[in-house]
Structure 1
């Protein structure tokens, strides 16, 4: 799914890794470990294209990557629920296209169009509708609400302006946005920060049932241990892959 081959990265004279390689396969759940400053967050930023590097990164253009980091973007002008729904990838665009074509179909009852034009319109509508359904467009509101609630933001706060939330609660909204995207590959940098025990339990259950690939860091070793089946270690200027969970790695 994602292959990093012979990658090298350094800041000034500090070498993070040299000619290192690893891969993320479909459905894998991987723990990313290593000492502070070794370059774990840089790995995330290389995968998302935010950092330059030497070497090769291979992934399909169709692969959707979601990245939860500790640096959240400014939030304002939307409610909590609207903010989460805004992250739903192509769904807003597909929804607009469906509404536009539905209007064209309504108008065709008044203004006659050719058989060829109607056939083309119906074909396009069917394709867009199928993609919208595949991406979960018809249950977006439900999923967004369930995720917010799972992370501790209940129905009474769905319509609160995002700017009224404190930094820690904004982190929960940011995490909700990544989960509602339901990407092919989920990159998570310390996802349990700012979460209470109840929300951590909910997140663990959600990630356990997540069908995509997961690459995560976490200081909560028990949380990581229950989820991952492979460890990628960043240390000593290289990247090493180990089978098994964190206990096996230790």
Structure 2
């Protein structure tokens, strides 16, 4: 039985733990027929260990998306492994501790700039580094956390995600002529390593317990991963600049 990603070559960032949405996207992508390559930073050995739990062996390459040297050699490294690309998964976000946890009004611009560079600008820089490999078009899929609202404790990651969402729209505008689609999945809260680095994350996530129309499982990253894989496939051939919410429907509920 063929999968929806048969013959696709996908670069996947952000596989840190088995609880990562990116890990489940990688697993589903392989199960659906894709050939994948993982990137990791700052500890590629951690990702290599987690990658052993995937259905098939996969290579891991080091990539710091804020490092121009790393980005400059990415095309050659990916080409050696896959020959070209049909899709990119952007699952990268970071903010220094003083940019989170209720310190919004006191955060330095240096920390804000780091959050913006890693979490938003990297969607553009990663895609442009891979653009020569996407001769036949393709799909770029990133992860966001609904940036229309001010969330408890989330602080400068909120504006960083808003910048990510705007970046996605402008990339959709400029890359459409090359048949490259750019979309985001807005996932509900998942108890991943990234989430646990946010002080007071439990308070933020507790909203889902009483407002989400569908029962929300913080321990289940697969629904968001399924949406990412679907957007990587040819089943959304004319969808770009979109944000697909996989949050149990909470985004649609006012109170």
- TM-score under structure 2 normalisation? 0.29
Q: 1 or 2, which has the higher strand percentage?
A: 1
- TM-score under structure 1 normalisation? 0.30
- Give the structure with higher Rg (CA): 1
Q: Relative CO higher for 1 or 2, CA cutoff 8 Å, sep ≥ 6? A: 1
